[in-house]
Every structure is written in structure tokens, then in C-alpha cells.
Structure 1
Amino acid sequence: MGDGVAKVVNRLREAQENGKLDLSECGLTQIPDAVYMMMKDITVQSCDLSQNLLQSLPKKFCSKFSKVTELNISGNKLHTLPDELRNLQELQDFDASSNNLDRIPQVVFQCVKLKQLNVHSNCISEVDVMRLEAMDSLETLNIKGNPLPDDVKSQLSDSRLNIIKS
């Protein structure tokens, strides 16, 4: 068994015990079907897919791990997120930093329990501040390291949210 495969298998076994799926730094370009099979009867509360090579978050992931409260997909190569992300109705802490997002995906606004949103170091140049403000549960937005225009920075400065922008 290769080192990468062994690493994933060991982490899946740990997740079966504690409900925290950590597949960070596994060199993943996709999420193997074995992940879904081994975790099918486990309620995953936390999932870390950071520092991989993912170019997309599979739709299947969002339906299979719908009880996730924490999701870290930072340090991948994501340009967008699937509409199925709205199925993560328990999601409270979402880290999509260090990807290739050019805006906060519309589906994020449908995550009704989201408290923390980290989109640090993407390519975000436009932000729907009114929609962010309308998210009752959202408390903190980390948007630093993005090429925000001055008018957006000004709107964010007037926001009720705890904004991390520099």
C-alpha cells in the first residue's frame, strides 16, 4: 500500500472513532469513493480537506457529510463551490481560504447557521455586503488578502460583522 493510501486509510479509521475527518495534506485531487464507503454510518462533524489539490468539491460530499459543522477546504485549487453546499445546514465554521475564488459563492448565503467564514487569500474583488449582513448567524468574515475595491472596503468597514480585512 502506498504512503498516501495508507495515510488516508489511517485517518479514516481515526474519523470512525471521533467523527473528525482529517484528510489534510494527502495530495488528493479528488475524494476517493472509499472515503464515502468507510464513513457511511458515521456522523462526521468536522472535515479538513485543506492543503490538497482539489479543483472541485464533489456534490456527493455535500450529501454524504450533511451534518458537518466545521469544513476546511483551504489551500486547494477551487474556483467555485457546488450548489449542493446548501445541504450543509449545520455548517458553522467554513474555511475556503487560499483558493482561487473570485467572489463569495452565492451558495454560501444559504448556509443558515454559518458563524465564521474565512475566504482569506483568494481572488475576490466583489462582495455582496448586503447579503452578508442578512445572514443572521454570521459573526466573523476573514477577507484579507483579496483585491477588494475601495467601495467594498468602505461598505465592509460599516458592517455589523467582525471583519478581518488587513
Structure 2
Amino acid sequence: MAEAVARVARKVNEVVEKKEKHLDLSKCALTSFPVGLYVVMADVTQDIQSITLANNEIKTMTSKFFSIFTQLVELNLEGNVLKNLPDNISSLTSLTSINLSKNKFQDFPIKLLDVSTIECINLEDNEIKDVPVEKLCSMSCLKTVNLKGNPVNKDLLDNSEFKFELII
């Protein structure tokens, strides 16, 4: 545990000191985004465009996270235990890519449909059965939706009519 805390501190210090645009807190044994980091990173949060929180033990993402990091372009939450996302994910008006693979989603995260800039949604290896196909088809920027490894009824999905690539 102490090693994981030290790794978080090291990575955050690098981002703050170098004013980097990417924060990588993967494999840090996090169960949530550390609240104290909002204060430590206050001067650079508006510059962070990409965050990786992959392969942790995160159960929930707070609304505060999405209200602080509103300028995110890429968000990687792969390999956690997330079941849903807060409603205000739609405040990420620059988000183009989100990786939610290898989590515990049983339902398609509907609020992602309100992110008009999204191009790539990765939901591989979750527990999703139903897909809001019509709503996905209405998203003008969407290029790829990865649902491989989900118990989706493939017979109900006709790839030929999609304006985006559907991977199942």
C-alpha cells in the first residue's frame, strides 16, 4: 500500500512540476480518485487532457472528478470494478475517447450518449446485454463502439446500417 501511495505522489508531482497534459495513475491500487489530488493539482487541472486510471480497484467515479477535469479528451478506466458513471460525464465537452473495458457494466452507460464529441467507446469485457443502437446511430462524431466480450444479442445488431464500426 505504501508503495502505491508513493507511486501516486511521484506521478502527480511530475505532472504538476512539468505541467504535463497526461496523468497516469494506472496500477496504483486506487479504489477511487484521491480527493486530496484536486487541491494538489488545482493549478494544472485545466491543462490535463488525458487521464489513465487503468487496472485499479475503482468502484465509482464521483461527479466532482468530471466537474474538475472538464477538458479531458481521453479517459482510460480499463480494468476497474465500475458499474456506472455519474450523470455529469456529459460535461466533458472535449472527450473523444473513453475506455471502460474490463469493468462491471451491466447496462450501456447512457450518459455517454450526451457527449457529442465522443468518437470511440470501448466497453469490451463487461456484462452488457442491450445496446441503444438508434441513439448511437444519431451520434455524429462516433467512429467505433467495442462491445466484444459482452453478452449482447448479436442477431439484433445489423452492422450494415451503422455509420460507425461496431465490434462485437
TM-score range, shorter chain: over 0.9
Corresponding residue for residue 103 of structure 2: 99
AA of the residue aligned to 1:81: L
**Aligned counterpart in structure 1 of residue 40 of structure 2, from 38, 41, 48:** 38
Alignment of 1:19 with 2:21, yes or no, is yes
For residues 65-103 of structure 1, the C-alpha deviation after alignment (integer angstroms, 9 at most, x for no partner) is: 110100001100011110011111110010011111112
Structure 1 Cα separation of the partners of residues 108 and 159 of structure 2: 14
Corresponding residue for residue 52 of structure 1: 56
User: 3-state DSSP class of the match of 1:71?
Assistant: strand
Unaligned runs of 5+ in 1: none
Alignment of 1:160 with 2:163, yes or no, is yes
Alignment of 1:114 with 2:87, yes or no, is no
Closer/same/farther in 2, CA of residues 157 and 122 from structure 1, 3 Å limit: farther
Corresponding residue for residue 29 of structure 1: 31
**Aligned counterpart in structure 1 of residue 89 of structure 2, from 81, 85, 91:** 85
For residues 127-161 of structure 1, the C-alpha deviation after alignment (integer angstroms, 9 at most, x for no partner) is: 01010011100101111010011333x33453121
Structure 2 Cα separation of the partners of residues 31 and 84 of structure 1: 16
Q: Is the 8 A contact 1:157 1:163 kept in 2?
A: no
- Please provide the CA RMSD for this pair: 1.4
| Aligned residue-pair number | 164
TM-score normalised by length of structure 1: 0.94
Structure 2 Cα separation of the partners of residues 102 and 155 of structure 1: 21
Structure 2 Cα separation of the partners of residues 26 and 12 of structure 1: 12
Alignment of 1:128 with 2:140, yes or no, is no
TM-score normalised by length of structure 2: 0.93
User: 3-state DSSP class of the match of 1:61?
Assistant: helix
Structure 1 Cα separation of the partners of residues 36 and 21 of structure 2: 16
Structure 1 Cα separation of the partners of residues 105 and 2 of structure 2: 32
For residues 13-54 of structure 1, the C-alpha deviation after alignment (integer angstroms, 9 at most, x for no partner) is: 222221211111000011112211121121210000110101
User: 3-state DSSP class of the match of 2:98?
Assistant: strand
